[in-house]
């Protein structure tokens, strides 16, 4: 029998798979999405370089599409090349941290407010369902499940903004800090996390843009503070 934690993680995986399956994907795109998921949810560890050949073997594909996908991730700032067919997560310097924190603080509350006019009851119900699953992950100390749920919550909201430019920038930034969140949660657990999503849901219900922006800002601040304390 599957545990609640396993089921919650599976639900997040299914949601992402459904989004990815809306259009035919090339081999390059499938590999890109696979590597992107690893970056978001802890499949790459900061400070540990990996080879392109190793990635290809791990994914059971030829090196060419891996090289193309990695080149794309390097351009997005999620990976850096070491010139010997090795790549790694860029180091989290104080400057990099400040820029990521500033970018998130400026863009994500804006996306949330842009989404507000398009939010319907079905959207709110979806966010409530995701947040309830996140609560179970927090109770059970399921770090990956929490990270998948947190991502699912934010981007279910941001998708409603119907933005191509800002949303893509935010997606790129999430790949840059995701590996560090996984590392920090692995060290400190999830017991001290405060769920700011409920405040966001209430703000959506009351069509309160200012409260929605504040809830998203506080959620960002909490997560980024963990990274800042570790630099």
**CATH code for position 175:** 1.20.120.530
CA distance 74 to 90: 10
- For residues 60 and 36, state if they share a domain: yes
- For residues 108 and 191, state if they share a domain: yes
| Per-residue pLDDT at 24 | 59
Split at pLDDT 50, 70, 90, the class of 21 is: very low
Q: How many separate domains does the chain show?
A: 2
- For residues 47 and 113, state if they share a domain: no
Burial of 29 (0-12, 13-18, 19+ CB in 10 A): middle
Whether residue 142 is predicted with pLDDT greater than 80 in this model: the reply is yes
| Per-residue pLDDT at 179 | 92
Mean pLDDT in the chain?
Answer: 88
Whether residue 208 is predicted with pLDDT greater than 90 in this model: the reply is yes
CA distance 203 to 119: 11
Residue bearing the bigger pLDDT, 226 or 154: 154
- For residues 57 and 109, state if they share a domain: no
| Per-residue pLDDT at 12 | 52
Mean pLDDT of 81-90: 91
Whether residue 184 is predicted with pLDDT greater than 50 in this model: the reply is yes
pTM score of the predicted model: 0.85
Which of 4-8, 14-18, 125-129, 137-141 is modeled with the greatest confidence?
A: 125-129
Q: Which residues sit opposite 230 in a β-bridge?
A: none
- For residues 148 and 162, state if they share a domain: yes
| Per-residue pLDDT at 14 | 42
| Per-residue pLDDT at 133 | 96
- For residues 108 and 165, state if they share a domain: yes
From 88, 108, 141, the end of a domain falls on 88
- For residues 124 and 70, state if they share a domain: no
Q: Which of 2-11, 109-118, 152-161, 168-177 has the lowest mean pLDDT?
A: 2-11
The residue range of the domain holding 62 is 4-88
CA distance 157 to 4: 24
Mean pLDDT of 107-117: 98
Whether residue 229 is predicted with pLDDT greater than 90 in this model: the reply is no
Burial of 102 (0-12, 13-18, 19+ CB in 10 A): exposed
Residue bearing the bigger pLDDT, 97 or 188: 97
DSSP the chain: ---HHHHHHHHHHHHHHHHHTTS---HHHHHHHHHHHHHHHTSS-TT--EEHHHHHHHHTS-HHHHHHHHHHHHHTTS-EE-SSSEEEPPP--HHHHHHHHHHHHHHHHHHHHHHGGG--HHHHHHHHHHHHHHHHHHHHT-HHHHHHHHHHHHHHHHHTT--SHHHHHHHHHHHHHHHHHHHHHHHH-STT----HHHHHHHHHTT-HHHHHHHHHHHHHHHHHHHHHH-
From 61, 88, 115, the end of a domain falls on 88
Residue 20 has which token pair?
A: 């990815």
Whether residue 214 is predicted with pLDDT greater than 90 in this model: the reply is yes
- For residues 45 and 121, state if they share a domain: no
Which of 16-25, 44-53, 122-131 is modeled with the greatest confidence?
A: 122-131
CA distance 152 to 18: 12
- For residues 16 and 69, state if they share a domain: yes
From 42, 62, 88, the end of a domain falls on 88
Tell me the CB-side half-sphere exposure of residue 1, using CA atoms within 13 A: 2
């Amino acid at each position: 029998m599957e545990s609640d934690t396993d089921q919650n993680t599976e639900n997040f995986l299914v949601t992402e798979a459904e989004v990815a399956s809306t259009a035919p994907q090339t081999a390059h795109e499938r590999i890109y999405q696979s590597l992107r998921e690893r970056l978001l949810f802890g499949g790459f560890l900061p400070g540990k370089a990996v080879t392109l050949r190793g990635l290809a073997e791990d994914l059971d594909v030829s090196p060419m599409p891996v090289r193309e996908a990695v080149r794309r991730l390097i351009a997005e700032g999620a990976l850096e090349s070491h010139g010997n067919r090795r790549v790694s997560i860029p180091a989290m310097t104080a400057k990099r941290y400040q820029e990521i924190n500033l970018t998130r603080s400026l863009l994500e509350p804006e996306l949330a407010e842009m989404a507000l006019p398009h939010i319907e009851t079905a959207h709110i119900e979806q966010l409530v369902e995701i947040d309830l699953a996140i609560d179970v992950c927090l109770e059970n100390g399921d770090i990956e499940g929490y990270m998948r749920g947190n991502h699912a919550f934010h981007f279910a909201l941001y998708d409603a903004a119907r933005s191509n430019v800002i949303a893509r920038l935010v997606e790129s930034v999430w790949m840059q800090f995701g590996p560090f969140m996984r590392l920090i949660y692995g060290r400190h657990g999830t017991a001290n996390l405060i769920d700011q999503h409920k405040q966001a849901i209430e703000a959506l219900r009351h069509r309160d843009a200012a409260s929605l922006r504040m809830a998203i800002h506080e959620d960002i601040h909490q997560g980024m503070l963990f990274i800042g304390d570790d630099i």
